[in-house]
Structure 1
Amino acid sequence: MAIDQQSTARVSGGEPTPGRTAPRTEPNRWINALSFQTISAVYIFIALFVLFSFWVPDTFLRANTWRAMLDDQSITALTAVGLVIPLSAGTFNLAIGAQVGFGSIVSAWFLSHQGLPIAVTLVLTLISGAAIGLITGLLIVAAKIDSFIATLGVSSVLLALTTWVSGGQQILDLGASYQRIATNDLFGITYPVYFVVVVSLAVWYVLERTPSGRRVYATGGNAEAARLAGVRTSVTVVLCLVGCGVIAAAAGCLVSSRLATGDPTVGPGYLLPAFAAAFLGSTQFRGGRYNVWGTVLAVYVLATGVKGLQLAGAPVWIPDLFNGLALLLAVGLAKRQGRSGRGAAIARMIGRRRRTTDPGAVGVGPA
């Protein structure tokens, strides 16, 4: 279908055609990008930094405090980034804490009880994480079990397996070489922090810059509409859980390396902070859509608040209280923002499919 001259004139003159939205001016774009609703975590971080800089300046402003916080939160950040993948596809993974714990125990068991080399141990642990993700995904898409129930059941099974493999005891004698993976540093920053950056860049690129990422967001926005648009939603969900399982297993390896021990109790502690960061992160940058950099920012904003309170002499239960309140707040904010941002993904997917299948669409067909 040829485009009539009136439509052409409107496009060239900058007037929006029917079905098109007027381009935002540059000042409006900057105002929106810097608004509290878009980057509230940045403003919260600034407020926390100013507060604790005056409250406990002698300890809070030390470089060692910040280096330690970067390292302490690296595994939480890695777990949260892994969680972003299935959440973006509309799938909740309540087993992610147990997956981290299982990866920690399995890697320790391979090293200490089986005497395997470090490289082989790491590969086998990552494969086990992928297998767990695959089984979980099949339970959801093939057995048609709701993701809440399926992942909750998998979590219970993994906790039982973790206790069985470890005998309910810590696994010791992992070797100094393995411990150096999580404790050595480069320019004063430990290796796990760099690993978080690399994994975050990889996940961000796939989700935000590839057709696979658009399929993930489309599935999370509206699975049925995405399926009708040609997305293989079942495959997408399974692959997201596999990717999450691999990252959780890697986080487990870092846990056992940092502790130089396989501890069967550590995994579940990562569940709540990861969900709090992922939900709070979804309110940052992308207008209600789960995203990597919002999640990483949320991890360290929450950690800054907890660290400042601890340095000020707050009781030991403060982290649990802080993360719980942050999760409730983040879910509330995500509810207000979420559907518009995540729904845009499916709209783009359907619009792209229409343009490729309808040669009469305005601006697509021959003039």
Structure 2
Amino acid sequence: MNTIRDRGERGAAVLRRFSRSTTMTLLCVVLAGYLALGLASSGSFLEGPSVRTFLRYLATPVLIGLAQMVALCVGQLNLAVGALGGFTACLMGVLMADQGVPAGVAVAAGVLAATAIGLVTGLCIVATKINGFIVTLGTMTILQGAQYWLVGTRTVDGYSAGLKDLGRAAPLNVPLVFVTALAAAALLAAFLYRSTAGRRLLAAGGNPLAARLSGISTDRQIVLAHTLSGLLIGVAALTATASLPGVNRSVGGDWLLPSFAAPSSAAWRSPEGRSPCWARCWRPS
């Protein structure tokens, strides 16, 4: 009996903490906003096609927000989010449409290129000791030029029909691109909060001096954060390429500000200053 009573008390305590937590507050805000949109649209926003379109739109902002959040976790900024995403999307499109590369190979090449650029960015920040703001600003300028070199003023739309079908696919009315974004958020949350490497990354951003005194290499965490950011941007470029009818030099041009909005607002709401990965999924802009 005592065991059952203890379990009941622990469960009640967990529920009380949850009801007073930032998570509960954000859930209530999300629900209220969703219902308000439904009422404002006379119920059409709650219908299947509207929900499907809304979730498909959310996929890319979720991923770029996660990419920015990883950099923010170590006290860095990534101003190259949009430029890297646009370059990667155009690289995928050009490889498929102009070079005849299979979709799977082109996508893998694009994601790997974005990850490699993130790695190089992190290494440059650590090696030069220049603020990440300046380094990523330079990276952004270079990548914008590279994106223009790839596509010029044209729109590349002759790439894999299978990839476009993936962007339109929505089993059970949930777009696959949105499922991809949710999976990325879940994997990132598991890495940050359940793995030793993720906790070291958060520790390095939370208190760099204490992290160094504990034997954690803050330089290594900065490189890791920018590498993960590049990887997530590569996945965002994939969802954008799959969802859009074509890619051109404008892709990624409006990604930078939304990438800051959600992580910053989620962290502002959190007393610990952390940005929950799931919360990022519902604050795309």
After TM superposition, is the score higher than 0.5? Answer: yes
Cα distance 1:208–1:112, how it changes in 2: closer, same or farther (>3 A)?
same
How far the C-alpha of 1:30 sits from its partner, in A, is 4.0
2:7 corresponding residue in structure 1: none
2:242 is equivalent to residue 242 of structure 1: no
Alignment of structure 1 residues 193-272 onto 2, 5 Å: 193-272=178-257
2:30 is equivalent to residue 45 of structure 1: yes
CA-based RMSD of the aligned residues comes to: 2.2
Contact 1:108 1:171 in 2 (8 A): yes
Unaligned residue ranges in structure 2 (runs of 5+): 1-9
Contact 2:59 2:239 in 1 (8 A): no
Name the aligned partner's letter for residue 197 of structure 2. S
Query: Aligned partners of 1:39 and 1:56: how far apart in 2?
Result: 26
Query: Aligned partners of 1:250 and 1:180: how far apart in 2?
Result: 17
Deviations 1:259-290 (A, max 9, x none): 24222112021221121111122245673212
Query: Aligned partners of 2:241 and 2:38: how far apart in 1?
Result: 34
Query: Aligned partners of 1:209 and 1:36: how far apart in 2?
Result: 20
Name the aligned partner's letter for residue 160 of structure 1. G
1:296 corresponding residue in structure 2: 281
**Deviates most, 238-247 or 169-178:** 169-178
1:339 corresponding residue in structure 2: none
1:57 aligned residue (42, 56, 66): 42
Cα distance 1:47–1:186, how it changes in 2: closer, same or farther (>3 A)?
closer
Q: Output the TM-score relative to the length of structure 1.
A: 0.70
Query: Aligned partners of 1:232 and 1:246: how far apart in 2?
Result: 21
Deviations 1:244-270 (A, max 9, x none): 101101211221222242221120212
2:106 aligned residue (108, 111, 121): 121
Query: Aligned partners of 2:43 and 2:31: how far apart in 1?
Result: 18
Cα distance 1:234–1:185, how it changes in 2: closer, same or farther (>3 A)?
same
Alignment of structure 1 residues 301-320 onto 2, 5 Å: none
Alignment of structure 1 residues 171-186 onto 2, 5 Å: 171-186=156-171
1:107 corresponding residue in structure 2: 92
Contact 2:52 2:170 in 1 (8 A): no
2:157 is equivalent to residue 166 of structure 1: no
Alignment of structure 1 residues 123-138 onto 2, 5 Å: 123-138=108-123
How far the C-alpha of 1:190 sits from its partner, in A, is 1.7
How far the C-alpha of 1:146 sits from its partner, in A, is 0.4
1:93 corresponding residue in structure 2: 78
Name the aligned partner's letter for residue 222 of structure 1. N
1:143 aligned residue (115, 119, 128): 128
Query: Aligned partners of 1:52 and 1:262: how far apart in 2?
Result: 30
Cα distance 1:132–1:286, how it changes in 2: closer, same or farther (>3 A)?
farther
How far the C-alpha of 1:55 sits from its partner, in A, is 3.3
1:153 corresponding residue in structure 2: 138
2:258 corresponding residue in structure 1: 273
1:287 aligned residue (269, 272, 275): 272
Alignment of structure 1 residues 62-77 onto 2, 5 Å: 62-77=47-62
Name the aligned partner's letter for residue 266 of structure 1. V
Aligned length: 277
How far the C-alpha of 1:91 sits from its partner, in A, is 1.4
How far the C-alpha of 1:165 sits from its partner, in A, is 1.2
1:34 aligned residue (19, 28, 53): 19
Larger Cα-atom Rg: 1
Deviations 1:290-321 (A, max 9, x none): 2311211323xxxxxxxxxxxxxxxxxxxxxx
How far the C-alpha of 1:37 sits from its partner, in A, is 4.9
1:359 corresponding residue in structure 2: none
Q: Output the TM-score relative to the length of structure 2.
A: 0.89
Considering Cα pairs closer than 8 Å and 6+ residues apart, tell me whether 1 or 2 has the greater RCO.
2
Contact 1:175 1:260 in 2 (8 A): no
Query: Aligned partners of 2:45 and 2:246: how far apart in 1?
Result: 30
Unaligned residue ranges in structure 1 (runs of 5+): 1-24, 300-322, 324-367
**SS of residue in 2 equivalent to 1:57:** coil
Query: Aligned partners of 1:160 and 1:86: how far apart in 2?
Result: 23
Contact 2:81 2:233 in 1 (8 A): yes
Cα distance 1:31–1:67, how it changes in 2: closer, same or farther (>3 A)?
same
1:16 corresponding residue in structure 2: none
Query: Aligned partners of 1:216 and 1:121: how far apart in 2?
Result: 31
